[in-house]
């Protein structure tokens, strides 16, 4: 695949100005590369960058595109703890504490940038909010370039502008553009890859900032997704995770029904890919044909992330989730009827405005009934510009914290019980590499998404290994020495 080519998704119709501008990205990359070649010849040094990524898999994937562009432009990546010429932040605004961390990390670089003449580039969801961009502009003089989620492909032009003028460049599009294909990518792992299938979200849950900062749903063409996965397989990738805020509505913007299920059948035919995962599934859109595809496609892993957010119908309605607890429970039954060993994970919000003790008990009840393998649990955090931001919090903070603690206890107990069923069993593990906490152990994931650490000679990164589990906790499994499969 030609790394430098930038192409807009032609199936959506085209705004000529947008197309013209996006086609220029490759040229801007070349111009920056030329500047860096001159710099290297003059100084004997190569310019460097480092990445600081916050938030979800979408941001991880965006960071791979930014890294791809920087590599293409002649920059070398350095580890997070080393100084660099360009410090890129990919930011998240889904919760307040993530935002505060970003401000903290950017502020901490002020002295280093002044001393070294290096710069900060701020991008991602936070930058789509005008008050954030304004604060960055006024508070952090060492932030020289800002762009948002809709104009990542414009980064080379903005960088060129800064390098040649020395000026600060802030450019944020307030509206999403077309899907841009074939941007350069520097993947963080070879054996596993994130693959975007749909961008944006049309759902407008009342607590969520995503539709405002990532725009409306735009699907990639199926041929483009499949071409990317075939290229990944040819390059040694074994597992793909298909990404979208709501993968179940993939293709709806083309007027296509059940395109996501059909995509899974097509990926099943790609040699070299052993595992397929996807995230995130909205419960209101998970169809029977998708359940059938998950059952019939052997490569689709037995793991489903299905956020339920709240167990009370009253709160679900206030959240604009467009399903009831009865629908959710029925859906779980249908999924388990089709795929009995499936592991389920979920997202749960505690303390949504108006949540009473009774509503919270409904949430706990749903957790006990479904018995999730894992759950991402959050205390509600108001986001500026969302409907729920204006709704009064009726419960004191201590009450909400207590509810949160109870929820975590119940969920941890369930996850521990479910983990015990792995003890004494042999599971297939795709190895990610040495464990972060104990480099003598190798670490990887089961098809059900469980983390496994086990002893092994040498680095088995990217290998498929059979591991007998000897101990199990809520968040990890420990295995005996693994037996290679391939
Ligand atoms: S489905 Fe709801 S929670 Fe998920 S991204 Fe869209 S608006 Fe946010």
Look at residue 2 and tell me if it is in a domain.
no
- Work out the average pLDDT over 455-473: 93
pLDDT of residue 63 exceeding 70 = yes
| Beta strand ranges found along 75-173 (DSSP E) | 76-77, 86-91, 119-124, 143-147, 169-171
Same-domain check for residues 391 and 430: no
pLDDT tens for 187-224 read 989 999 999 999 999 999 999 999 999 999 999 999 99
Look at residue 107 and tell me if it is in a domain.
yes
Look at residue 241 and tell me if it is in a domain.
yes
Give the pLDDT band (50/70/90) at residue 317. very high
Same-domain check for residues 158 and 11: yes
d(CA 204, ligand 1 centre) in Å: 6
Same-domain check for residues 315 and 294: no
Which of 367, 389, 418 corresponds to the end of one domain? 418
320 Cβ below 6 A of ligand 1: no
Same-domain check for residues 403 and 449: no
Please give the residue range of the domain that contains residue 472. Answer: 426-484
Measuring from atom 8 of ligand 1, which residue has the nearest CA?
208
Look at residue 176 and tell me if it is in a domain.
no
Counting from 1 in the atom list of ligand 1, the atom nearest the Cα of 321 is: 2
d(CA 50, ligand 1 centre) in Å: 30
Residues 109-116: contacts with CB within 8 Å, 24+ apart?
Answer: 109/142, 110/140, 110/141, 110/142, 112/83, 113/87, 113/142, 114/142, 116/83, 116/85
Which of 398, 418, 438 corresponds to the end of one domain? 418
Same-domain check for residues 209 and 293: yes
Instruction: Provide the CATH number for the domain around residue 360.
Output: 3.30.750.200
**pLDDT of amino acid 98:** 86
> What is the crossing angle of helices 96-108 and 130-139, to 10°?
20
Same-domain check for residues 26 and 153: yes
Same-domain check for residues 256 and 353: no
pTM: 0.92
Q: Pick the range with the lowest mean pLDDT from 1-5, 54-58, 390-394, 471-475.
A: 1-5
Same-domain check for residues 35 and 125: yes
Look at residue 196 and tell me if it is in a domain.
yes
Same-domain check for residues 436 and 381: no
Residues 130-135: contacts with CB within 8 Å, 24+ apart?
Answer: 131/384, 132/93, 132/99, 133/170, 133/172, 135/103
pLDDT of residue 20 exceeding 60 = no
Same-domain check for residues 138 and 21: yes
d(CA 307, ligand 1 centre) in Å: 10
Query: Which candidate, 284, 276, 277, 205, places its Cα nearest to that of 252?
Result: 284
Look at residue 341 and tell me if it is in a domain.
yes
**pLDDT of amino acid 217:** 95
What domain count does the chain have? 4
Same-domain check for residues 240 and 294: yes
CA distances from 237 to 105, 177, 412 (A): 33, 30, 33
Give the containing element (helix H, strand E) for 181: strand 180-181
d(CA 349, ligand 1 centre) in Å: 13
Same-domain check for residues 208 and 348: no
Which of 372, 396, 418 corresponds to the end of one domain? 418
pLDDT tens for 330-357 read 999 999 999 999 999 999 999 999 999 9
């Amino acid at each position: 695949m030609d790394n430098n080519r930038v192409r807009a998704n032609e199936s959506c119709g085209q705004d000529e100005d947008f197309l013209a501008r996006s086609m220029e990205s490759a040229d801007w990359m070349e111009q920056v590369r030329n500047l860096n070649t001159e710099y290297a010849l003059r100084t004997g040094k190569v310019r460097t960058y480092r990445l600081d990524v916050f938030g979800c898999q979408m941001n991880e994937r965006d960071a791979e595109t930014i890294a791809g562009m920087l590599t293409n432009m002649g920059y070398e990546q350095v580890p997070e703890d080393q100084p660099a010429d360009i410090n890129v932040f990919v930011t998240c605004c889904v919760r307040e504490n993530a935002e505060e961390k970003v401000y903290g990390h950017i502020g901490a670089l002020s002295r280093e940038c002044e001393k070294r003449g290096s710069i900060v580039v701020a991008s991602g969801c936070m930058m789509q909010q005008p008050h954030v961009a304004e604060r960055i502009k006024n508070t952090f003089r060492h932030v020289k370039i800002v762009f948002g989620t809709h104009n990542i492909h414009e980064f080379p032009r903005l960088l060129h502008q800064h390098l040649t003028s020395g000026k600060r460049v802030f450019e944020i599009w307030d509206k999403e553009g077309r899907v841009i294909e074939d941007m350069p990518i520097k993947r963080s792992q070879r054996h596993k890859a994130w693959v975007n299938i749909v961008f944006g979200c049309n759902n407008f849950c009342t607590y969520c900032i995503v539709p405002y900062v990532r725009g409306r749903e735009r699907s990639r063409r199926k041929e483009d997704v499949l071409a990317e996965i075939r290229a990944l397989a040819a390059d040694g990738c074994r597992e793909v995770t298909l990404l979208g805020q709501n993968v179940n509505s993939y293709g709806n913007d083309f007027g296509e029904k059940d395109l996501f299920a059909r995509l899974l059948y097509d990926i099943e035919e790609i040699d070299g890919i052993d595992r397929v995962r996807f995230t995130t599934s909205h419960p209101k859109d998970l169809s029977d044909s998708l359940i059938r595809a998950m059952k019939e496609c052997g490569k689709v892993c037995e793991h489903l992330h299905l956020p339920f957010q709240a167990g009370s119908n009253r709160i679900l309605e206030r959240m604009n989730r467009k399903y009831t607890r009865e629908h959710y429970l029925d859906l779980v039954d249908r999924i388990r009827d089709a795929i009995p060993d499936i592991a389920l994970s979920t997202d749960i919000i505690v303390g949504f405005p108006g949540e009473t003790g009774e509503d919270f008990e409904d949430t706990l009840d749903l957790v006990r009934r479904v018995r999730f393998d894992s759950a991402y649990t959050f205390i509600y955090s108001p986001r500026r510009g969302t409907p729920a931001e204006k709704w009064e919090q009726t419960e004191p903070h201590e009450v909400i914290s207590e509810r949160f603690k109870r929820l975590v206890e119940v969920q941890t107990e369930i996850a521990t019980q479910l983990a015990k069923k792995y003890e004494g069993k042999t599971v297939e593990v795709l190895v990610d590499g040495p464990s972060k906490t104990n480099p003598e152990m190798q670490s990887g994931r089961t098809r059900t998404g469980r983390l496994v650490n086990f002893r092994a000679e040498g680095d088995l990164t990217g290998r498929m290994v059979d591991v007998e589990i000897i101990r199990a906790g809520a968040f990890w499994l420990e295995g005996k020495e693994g037996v290679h499969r391939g």
